Structure 1
Amino acid sequence: MSQYASQWNAAGAQAQARSEATLARIAAMRELEERAAQASFKSKPQFEKRGQLLPRERVGLLLDAGAPWLALCSLAGYMQDSTDPARSVPGGGMIAGIGFVSGVRCMVVASDSGIEAGAIQEKGLDKILRVQEIALQNKLPFIHLVESAGANLMRYRVEGFVLGGGLFRNLARLSAAGIPVITVQHGSGTAGGAYMPGLSDVVIMVQGRSRAFLAGPPLLKAATGEIASEEELGGAQMHTSISGLGEHLAQDDRQALAMARDVVDRLSQWKCHETHSQKAQYAHQEIANPPLLNAEDLLGLMPAHHREPVDMREIIARLVDGSELLEFKPGYGAATVCVQADIGGHAIGIISNNGPIDVAGANKATHFIQWMCQLGQPIIYLQNTTGFMVGKDSEQGGMIKHGSKMIQAVTNASVPQITIQCGASFGAGNYGMCGRGYAPRFLFSWPGAKTAVMGGEQAARTMQIVSEAALARKGLAPDPEQSQQQFEQIVAMFEAQADVFYTSGLLLDDGVIDPRDTREVLAFCLDTMAQAAQRSLRPMQFGVARM
């Protein structure tokens, strides 16, 4: 492999303007993340009065000090709970991510009970289903810090109740696969929420605070007329001494988290050999063999508008070890970039776009995907495409069948795939470049990324042509003012839905990341997948049953 010779002028006016725009988007993203933290923090007086820790304090005590933490889906629910961007609180009412507990890489999920008492939000359900799937794919012990008011009956939707069963199904799948499921019951778990500890392998409860029952006192009285206290129905003392739902009884949150760490510490077979990049991340050191080109340049390389060109090799060279890469078929299908390189010592293949995917590019990518599968090397997709090439020559050249071959290769690839949406992700290009619908192991977005079936102006112009043709068939002329108004409305609708904060709020990615963190995020994910390949599970026909 050879070192990439950059042609980028990082000090130029274009780079500076792009950098300022990217930094503004990063600041907006951090403000949204902080909004969720502050909304939860407002409950601190009540938590302190009850002798409890806030959810983020719980997560912090559970995790190993100084170890890396990869937050997931932090913008979940943004613009789904409110039509006012200034009032929408992201996060889906829970905290989730991959971190280290007693030296073991785990999936950690915590109810954000500082917000609406931890009631499960619509996108919060989607979020936990997604991270459960990540845990299953990557053989990660699943640790759940539970304190939830359950479903919000004031916002009841029948589909939420029905699809919510998937949460419990996934707990059973994890356990049956041989993946430990550990729950710390910090507070209430009512009705369906009671099955969170019920479907766990080990449960830790907190004296005087934990509650788990199928029907709380109000529902019990309404349904049967029976009167019973919360402690009698589902208190920690009762469950750890009478029902057997809990294995360990803690006096407070701190002791419960210490117990959880002890339980994980006994998972000796889960402490896989650490890769060099993991050790470096653990110590907050640079991952081995860093790029020779500055990661700060990533702020200014990606344009704010997809019509401006960018050479994605410049971005690749700032992500890979030693800025060294081996380009695959560089002279064929040049708008589709295929590269072999290393990240954190992991041999990988990278596919990216310097323009639309044409016939040659689709064939090149298909060949490259199959080559990576033969080598057993993960594939990373850096999306920056307006889609597959259109036009008479492209159609006659067989764009549909060649694009379909690429999609088939992506769909059936036998190696793990990771996607980063760097810029545009339009049309079937989203499919061919392993978008969310193609189940990459991980998918993250940059702050300026846009996702849509097509660009807003293109969509509006298409509809304008269709409308004018329909009027012409009726012998009518279009109203210029009405036509322009419709054009602007369509553009605004497409632009709003293409925005990365909106799509991330819909769980169409696993989170928005600072471009400068991309190398570390990729190295972390590659380490996670490599450890999963090393871990030997002991699957069972059924999960561990409560006894």
Structure 2
Amino acid sequence: MPALESRIVPESEAYRQNHAAVSDLVDRLRALEARTRDKSEASRERFERRGQLLPADRLGRLLDAGAPFLELSTLAGFCLDHPDPERSVPGAGFMAGIGWVSGVRAMIVVDDSGIDAGAVQPMGIEKFQRAQAIALAQKLPFIHLVESAGANLLAYRVETFVNGGSIFYWLSRLSAAGIPVISVVHGSSTAGGAYMPGLSDYVVMVRERARAFLAGPPLLKAATGEVATEEELGGAEMHATVSGQAEYLAEDDADALRITRELLAALDWNRDLPSPTRSYAPPRFSADEMLGIAPADHRKPLDMREVIARIADGSVFLEFKPDYGPATVTGHAAICGMRVGIITNNGPLDPAGAAKATHFIQACCQSDLPLVYLQNTTGFIVGKASEQGGMIKHGSKMIQAMSNATVPRITVHCGASFGAGNYGMSGRGFFPDFCFSWPNARTAVMGAEQAADTMATVMAAGMQRKEQAVDHAAIEAMRARVIETFERQSDAFTLSGRLLDDGVIDPRDTRKVLACALAVCDEARRRVVRPIQFAVARP
């Protein structure tokens, strides 16, 4: 198969500008993630006085040493908890990701009780449910390290309460689907949160620290007049010996995590899943060059073959119909030994490109090849020629094929993602298995300048219809407002804060992230689960 050649010139001014701009965006991403870690770290002394591990340390003790951990949605809630980007603490109050525990790939959620006692933050419900959805679709054991103050009553929103019930719905569905649900209770798990361990298949509780009750002492006294201690109502020892709520009683955080690792090993989750042996060659070009390839300005060209050359094994890419609809790039490649079909863009989607993509999607489904979408498009092309050429019907066929594809779909926003191009290229609204963004990516119904020009034309025409003089100053003020609105909402950090992807990634990590996501999907398709009619009921 042919290997791609690279035409970039690292010494060029364009490359240096791209590298500097995208490096700054990656630095911003890492600084925001560090802000969350630092705020939790500030609680270390308090945790140590109580004989507890910080949430990040709990995660480290749970995971297999040296194994990869794909953290998801690190920017969730960004600028929703606080409007000032310099004061917002992203993450939505907990960590979530896919990692290895006793040789088993699992979805892990860790309440970050180092921040506001683990209270639910904006987008916290949505982030938790996204982790559950991935676990269900990819057949991943679900492990929750619990310690949370629950809902923030000072910031109460009724929709958070109502939609939060879906967390318990999905816990029940996970268990019934034959997927183990494990809760490790390190501290408080009260009121609605008590149903976290209540709806788990296995519960580990830490002696003298863990609490699980529907009503704590103050609420109990206010509601019934009864007086009881926290230990009597929901202490770990009581649940292990009296209520039967806990299967395992741990002496401290580290002991609870040891028990959890031993439990997952005992479940023999991988017994029907032989680990495939894959051999492959690395790309011929350095991933570090991704920063110079990706322009911070979406109006500048981005040759996606340069990206493919840095993520494909051996930089080998067998392009499919290269001379037909050439702005749409399709072809076969492998990523860390896993064969895939790649669909990407070097321009807008035209009728020929959409028809080619439809053909390629269906052919990949026939061959059972996962699809990797690398988004970089200003949308479906407009104009008399494209309309007469059947843009609507060909674009619709592409959307139909993508929506009904029978193979995994993984999407990466690498550049522009505008208009219906976002839809046709497997945007978040079409439920790809995973969806990630580069920090320079832009997503909107159209470009900011295009939107402003459109509205300016409409505004001027309206003035003329009313036989008014065209107010150019008013039009320019409106244009500025439209551009500001679009620019503010279209950047990758804002979108990721609203859970419109599964995380912003460093472009240099694209191959690693794709390999992890593809391996998760491959394992899920080969795994045999044993569903039951109802979730596992506790005694």
TM-score, normalized by the shorter chain, greater than 0.5? yes
Residue 288 (structure 2) pairs with residue 316 (structure 1): no
Q: Tell me the amino acid that sits aligned with residue 273 of structure 1.
A: P
Structure 2 residue aligned with 1:283: none
Cα distance in 2, alignment partners of residues 205 and 473 from structure 1 = 72
Cα distance in 2, alignment partners of residues 177 and 266 from structure 1 = 19
Cα distance in 1, alignment partners of residues 11 and 527 from structure 2 = 46
Residue 462 (structure 2) pairs with residue 470 (structure 1): yes
- The 8 Å contact of residues 275 and 527 in structure 1, kept in 2 or not, is answered as no
- The 8 Å contact of residues 380 and 419 in structure 2, kept in 1 or not, is answered as yes
Structure 1 residue aligned with 2:129: 129
Mapping 1:456-495, distance limit 5 Å: 456-495=448-487
Residue 427 (structure 2) pairs with residue 426 (structure 1): no
Q: Tell me the amino acid that sits aligned with residue 466 of structure 1.
A: V
Q: Tell me the amino acid that sits aligned with residue 136 of structure 1.
A: L
1:288 offset after TM fit, Å?
3.3
Structure 1 residue aligned with 2:187: 187
Aligned residue among 427, 437, 442 for 1:435: 427
What TM-score results when the alignment is normalised by the length of structure 2?
Answer: 0.98
Cα distance in 2, alignment partners of residues 374 and 341 from structure 1 = 16
Cα distance in 2, alignment partners of residues 163 and 468 from structure 1 = 44
Mapping 1:247-396, distance limit 5 Å: 247-270=247-270, 272-276=273-277, 288-396=280-388
Structure 1 residue aligned with 2:4: 4
SS of the aligned residue for 1:108 comes to strand
1:68 offset after TM fit, Å?
0.5
Structure 2 residue aligned with 1:36: 36
CA shift digits 1:98-138 (9 cap, x unpaired): 00001110111000111111111231111010011111111
SS of the aligned residue for 2:395 comes to helix
1:273 offset after TM fit, Å?
2.9
1:89 offset after TM fit, Å?
0.4
Cα distance in 1, alignment partners of residues 191 and 19 from structure 2 = 50
1:43 offset after TM fit, Å?
1.3
Cα distance in 2, alignment partners of residues 514 and 180 from structure 1 = 32
Q: Tell me the amino acid that sits aligned with residue 52 of structure 2.
A: Q
CA-based RMSD: 1.1
CA shift digits 1:293-327 (9 cap, x unpaired): 11111111121112211221111111000011100
SS of the aligned residue for 1:233 comes to helix
- The 8 Å contact of residues 3 and 323 in structure 1, kept in 2 or not, is answered as yes
SS of the aligned residue for 2:414 comes to strand
Range 387-396 or range 480-489, more displaced: 480-489
Cα distance in 2, alignment partners of residues 270 and 145 from structure 1 = 22
Cα distance in 1, alignment partners of residues 176 and 286 from structure 2 = 46
Residue 233 (structure 2) pairs with residue 233 (structure 1): yes
Cα distance in 2, alignment partners of residues 31 and 288 from structure 1 = 34
Gaps of 5+ in 1: 278-286
Residue 99 (structure 2) pairs with residue 107 (structure 1): no
Q: Tell me the amino acid that sits aligned with residue 515 of structure 1.
A: P
Structure 2 residue aligned with 1:412: 404
Residue 533 (structure 2) pairs with residue 541 (structure 1): yes
Cα distance in 1, alignment partners of residues 470 and 187 from structure 2 = 63
Aligned residue among 395, 398, 407 for 2:390: 398
1:269 offset after TM fit, Å?
3.5
Q: Tell me the amino acid that sits aligned with residue 534 of structure 2.
A: F
- The 8 Å contact of residues 276 and 344 in structure 1, kept in 2 or not, is answered as no
Cα distance in 2, alignment partners of residues 304 and 75 from structure 1 = 19
Q: Tell me the amino acid that sits aligned with residue 198 of structure 2.
A: G
CA shift digits 1:477-510 (9 cap, x unpaired): 2322222121111101100100100000000010
SS of the aligned residue for 1:422 comes to strand
Gaps of 5+ in 2: none
Q: Tell me the amino acid that sits aligned with residue 175 of structure 2.
A: S
1:45 offset after TM fit, Å?
1.7
Q: Tell me the amino acid that sits aligned with residue 212 of structure 2.
A: A
Structure 2 residue aligned with 1:281: none
1:276 offset after TM fit, Å?
4.4
Mapping 1:513-528, distance limit 5 Å: 513-528=505-520
Structure 1 residue aligned with 2:21: 21
Structure 2 residue aligned with 1:280: none
Cα distance in 2, alignment partners of residues 325 and 40 from structure 1 = 44
Q: Tell me the amino acid that sits aligned with residue 326 of structure 1.
A: L
Cα distance in 1, alignment partners of residues 269 and 67 from structure 2 = 20
Structure 2 residue aligned with 1:284: none
> How many residue pairs are counted as aligned between the two chains?
538
Q: Tell me the amino acid that sits aligned with residue 518 of structure 1.
A: T
Cα distance in 2, alignment partners of residues 267 and 516 from structure 1 = 36
- The 8 Å contact of residues 81 and 88 in structure 1, kept in 2 or not, is answered as yes
- The 8 Å contact of residues 370 and 413 in structure 1, kept in 2 or not, is answered as yes
SS of the aligned residue for 1:27 comes to helix
1:270 offset after TM fit, Å?
2.2
Q: Tell me the amino acid that sits aligned with residue 381 of structure 1.
A: Y
CA shift digits 1:36-79 (9 cap, x unpaired): 00111111121111111110000000000100010000000001
Cα distance in 2, alignment partners of residues 275 and 91 from structure 1 = 34
Range 327-336 or range 120-129, more displaced: 120-129
